[in-house]
A and B are shown apart, each in its own frame.
Chain A
Amino acid sequence: MQTIYKTLLTNLILVLLLCFTNIAYGQNQSRRVFYKGATGNEITILTKDVLNKEIFFIGINHSFFIDIDCTADNFLEHLTQQLEREKLALIDLNGALFVVDSKSKLSDFSLDIFAQKSSEKKEEDALVDVIYETRAATSQSRIYTIGDINNPATTSNVVLSGYVKHYSTGEPLAGVTVIVENRSTYATTDIYGFFRIMVPVGEGAIQLKSQGLEDLRLMLEVYNQGKLDVLMKEQVYSLREIVLSAEGTRQTRSTQLGLERVRINRIRHIPSAFGEADVLKAIMTLPGVKSVGEISGGFNVRGGATDQNLVLFNESTIYNPTHLFGLFSSFNPDVVSEVELYKSSIPAKYGGRISSVLEVSSRNGNNNKITGSAGVGPLTSKFHIEGPIKKDKTNFITAFRTTYSDWILGLLPEDSGYRDGKASFNDLSMGISHKIDNRNSLFLYGYYSGDKFSFSSDTTFSYQNINLSAKWRRIVNDKHNLLISGGYDRYSYSNFDQSNGINAYQLDFNINQFYGKANFNWLISDNHTLSYGANAVVYSILPGKYTPKGENSIVVPKTLETEQAIEAAIFISDSWRINDRLSAELGLRYTLYSAIGPANYYKYFGKDFAPEYITDTISAKSMEIIKPYHSPEIRLSMRYMITNDLSIKAGFNSMAQNIHMISNTSAVSPTDTWKLSDANITPQKGWQAAAGLYQNLLDRFEISIEGYYKHLSNYLDYKSGASLIMNENIEQDVFRTKGKAYGVEFMVKKSIGRLNGWMAYTYSRSLLRESESSGSSNTSNRKWYPAAYDKPNDFKLIANYKFTQRFSISMNIDYSTGRPITIPVGKFNYGGGERLIYSQRNSYRIPDYFRMDFAINIEPSHNLKLLTHSTITIGVYNLTGRDNVFSIYYKTEGIHQQVKGYKLSIFGTQIPYINYNIKF
Chain B
Amino acid sequence: MNTNRKIVKYIFRVLLTVTTLLFLQFCISPYDAKIDPLDNHIIVIEGDITPNDTTKIKISLTRNLDQPPGEKQDIVSAFVWVEDEVGNKYFGYRTTINFQTYYIVPPFNYNINLKYKLCLNVTSNLNEIWDGGNNIQYTYESELLELLVAPPIESINYKTNEDKSAVTFFVNSNDPSNNTTYYKWSFREDWEFKSLYMSYFEYNPFRKEVVPINSYEDNRHICWSFKESSSILIFNTEALSEDRVHMLPLVSMGKTDLRTSYLYSMNLKQMAISKEAYKFWDNLKKNSEEIGGIFDPQPSDVSGNIKCISHPGKRVIGYISAGIPSYKRIFAKGKDIGIYKHPSNCGEMVVTGSENPLSDEWMYLIGYDIIGVDIDFNGGAPEKYWIAIQCVDCRLFGTKEKPSYWPNIESL
Query: What is A's interface to B at a CB cutoff of 8 Å?
Result: 274, 292-293, 295-296, 324-325, 327, 378-379, 405, 408-409, 412, 416, 418, 421, 423, 453, 455, 459, 461, 495, 497, 500-503, 505, 507, 546, 554-556, 558, 664-667, 669-671, 719-726, 778-779, 788, 821-839, 841, 844, 883, 885-892, 896-909, 911
Contact A325 B8 (CB under 8 A): no
In the complex, which residue of chain B has the Cβ closest to the Cβ of A406?
B21
Contact B294 A495 (CB under 8 A): no
Contact B33 A844 (CB under 8 A): yes
Q: Is the interface of B mostly helix, strand, loop or mixed?
A: mixed
Q: A324-B14, A507-B3, A829-B46 are in contact. List 19 more A-B contacts (CB 8 A).
A: A412-B21, A416-B20, A418-B21, A421-B13, A423-B17, A502-B240, A505-B3, A556-B239, A721-B283, A826-B41, A826-B65, A830-B46, A832-B231, A885-B31, A888-B33, A889-B296, A903-B30, A906-B19, A909-B25
Contact B293 A904 (CB under 8 A): yes
Tell me if B32 is interfacial: C-beta within 8 Å of chain A.
yes
A503 to B297, CA, bound (A): 23
A296 to B12, CA, bound (A): 12
Contact B1 A726 (CB under 8 A): yes
Interface residues of B in 50-83 (CB under 8 A from A): 58, 60-65, 67, 69, 72
The 8 Å CB contact of A883, one of B27, B301, B318, is B27
A500 to B8, CA, bound (A): 18
Tell me if B349 is interfacial: C-beta within 8 Å of chain A.
no
Contact A901 B30 (CB under 8 A): yes
- Determine the chain A residues whose CB is within 8 A of the CB of B44 once the complex forms: 828-830
Tell me if B102 is interfacial: C-beta within 8 Å of chain A.
no
User: Number of B interface residues, CB 8 Å?
Assistant: 82
- Determine the chain B residues whose CB is within 8 A of the CB of A901 once the complex forms: 30-33
The 8 Å CB contact of A292, one of B28, B65, B294, is B294
7 shortest interchain CB distances as A-B pairs: A720-B300, A889-B292, A502-B246, A833-B230, A721-B283, A903-B31, A667-B294
Tell me if B26 is interfacial: C-beta within 8 Å of chain A.
yes
Contact B246 A832 (CB under 8 A): no
CB distance from B13 to the nearest CB of A (A): 6
Contact A725 B4 (CB under 8 A): yes
The 8 Å CB contact of A667, one of B36, B46, B186, B295, is B295
Contact A826 B62 (CB under 8 A): yes
Tell me if B242 is interfacial: C-beta within 8 Å of chain A.
yes
A602 to B251, CA, bound (A): 42
Tell me if B15 is interfacial: C-beta within 8 Å of chain A.
yes
CB distance from B166 to the nearest CB of A (A): 13
Contact B294 A324 (CB under 8 A): no
A691 to B324, CA, bound (A): 68
CB distance from A847 to the nearest CB of B (A): 9
Given A666-B298, A827-B65, the answer on whether A379 and B22 have CB atoms closer than 8 Å is: yes
12 A–B pairs (Cβ distance < 8 Å), ordered by A:
A405-B18, A418-B20, A665-B8, A725-B7, A726-B3, A828-B42, A830-B46, A830-B318, A831-B232, A836-B291, A905-B29, A907-B24
A324 to B20, CA, bound (A): 13
Tell me if B384 is interfacial: C-beta within 8 Å of chain A.
no
- Determine the chain A residues whose CB is within 8 A of the CB of B18 once the complex forms: 324, 327, 405, 423
Contact B290 A889 (CB under 8 A): yes
Contact A725 B246 (CB under 8 A): no
Tell me if B317 is interfacial: C-beta within 8 Å of chain A.
yes
Tell me if B287 is interfacial: C-beta within 8 Å of chain A.
yes
- Determine the chain A residues whose CB is within 8 A of the CB of B128 once the complex forms: none
Contact B230 A886 (CB under 8 A): no
In this complex, the member of B6, B38, B41, B279 whose beta carbon has the largest number of chain A beta carbons within 10 angstroms is B6
Contact B300 A721 (CB under 8 A): yes
Contact A892 B1 (CB under 8 A): no
Given A671-B4, A831-B281, A832-B230, the answer on whether A409 and B65 have CB atoms closer than 8 Å is: no
CB distance from A555 to the nearest CB of B (A): 6
- Determine the chain B residues whose CB is within 8 A of the CB of A327 once the complex forms: 18
In the complex, which residue of chain B has the Cβ closest to the Cβ of A721?
B283
A421 to B13, CA, bound (A): 10
- Determine the chain A residues whose CB is within 8 A of the CB of B294 once the complex forms: 292-293, 295-296, 665-667, 886-887
CB distance from A412 to the nearest CB of B (A): 6
Contact B300 A665 (CB under 8 A): no
CB distance from A299 to the nearest CB of B (A): 13
Contact A822 B293 (CB under 8 A): no
Contact B24 A325 (CB under 8 A): no
Tell me if B228 is interfacial: C-beta within 8 Å of chain A.
yes
Contact A892 B288 (CB under 8 A): yes
Tell me if B282 is interfacial: C-beta within 8 Å of chain A.
yes
- Determine the chain B residues whose CB is within 8 A of the CB of A904 once the complex forms: 26-28, 293
A726 to B67, CA, bound (A): 40
- Determine the chain B residues whose CB is within 8 A of the CB of A378 once the complex forms: 22
Given A325-B295, A826-B62, A887-B292, the answer on whether A497 and B35 have CB atoms closer than 8 Å is: no
The 8 Å CB contact of A831, one of B3, B15, B46, is B46
- Determine the chain A residues whose CB is within 8 A of the CB of B293 once the complex forms: 886-887, 889, 904
A71 to B382, CA, bound (A): 129
Contact A827 B35 (CB under 8 A): no
